[in-house]
């Protein structure tokens, strides 16, 4: 009789969990706001909560993208060194990624 090993799903990294939670929070709050509007209830609370939740999600995304950019620059630098190439371009990219400010294109 064969026994199969169950492969466990890898738990997503913490930063992706934060993004997913923030995204669901935004959509749930927005859905409740739309529901309250359709039912004719007072929606003045949602005038403050909806923009704050979407703003928090945007900030979480900006930090995640900045983190991913820095991690990729580190991996690229290691790959250059492993291949025996000059890691100077990767070093410059890594330094610029660390010094770059978070900018919004919206």
Model pTM score: 0.67
Residue 67 belongs to domain spanning: 14-99
Whether residue 75 is contained in a domain is answered as yes
> Is 6 a member of any domain?
no
Q: How many domains does the chain have?
A: 1
Q: Per residue in 46-56, pLDDT tens?
A: 999 999 999 99
| Mean pLDDT, contiguous 10-residue spans, the chain (106 residues) | 71 88 95 95 93 94 88 80 75 68 55
Is 84 domain-assigned? Answer: yes
Is residue 51 domain-resident?
yes
The gap from C-alpha 90 to its chain's centroid, in whole angstroms, comes to 23
Does residue 82 fall inside a structural domain?
yes
- 106, part of any domain: no
Q: How confident is the model at residue 75, as a pLDDT? A: 83
Q: Is residue 78 part of a domain?
A: yes
Token pair of 42 as six digits = 């007072």
Would you say residue 7 lies in a domain?
Answer: no
């Amino acid at each position: 009789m064969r026994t199969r090993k169950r492969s466990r799903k890898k738990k997503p990294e913490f930063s992706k969990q934060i993004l997913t939670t923030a995204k669901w929070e935004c959509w749930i709050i927005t859905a409740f706001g739309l529901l309250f509007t359709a039912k004719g209830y007072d929606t003045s609370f949602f005038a403050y909560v909806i923009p704050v939740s979407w703003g928090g999600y945007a900030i979480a995304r900006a930090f995640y993208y900045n983190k991913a950019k820095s991690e990729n620059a580190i991996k690229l630098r290691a790959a250059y060194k492993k291949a025996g190439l000059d890691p100077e371009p990767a070093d410059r990219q890594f330094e610029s990624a660390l010094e770059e400010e978070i900018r919004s294109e919206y």
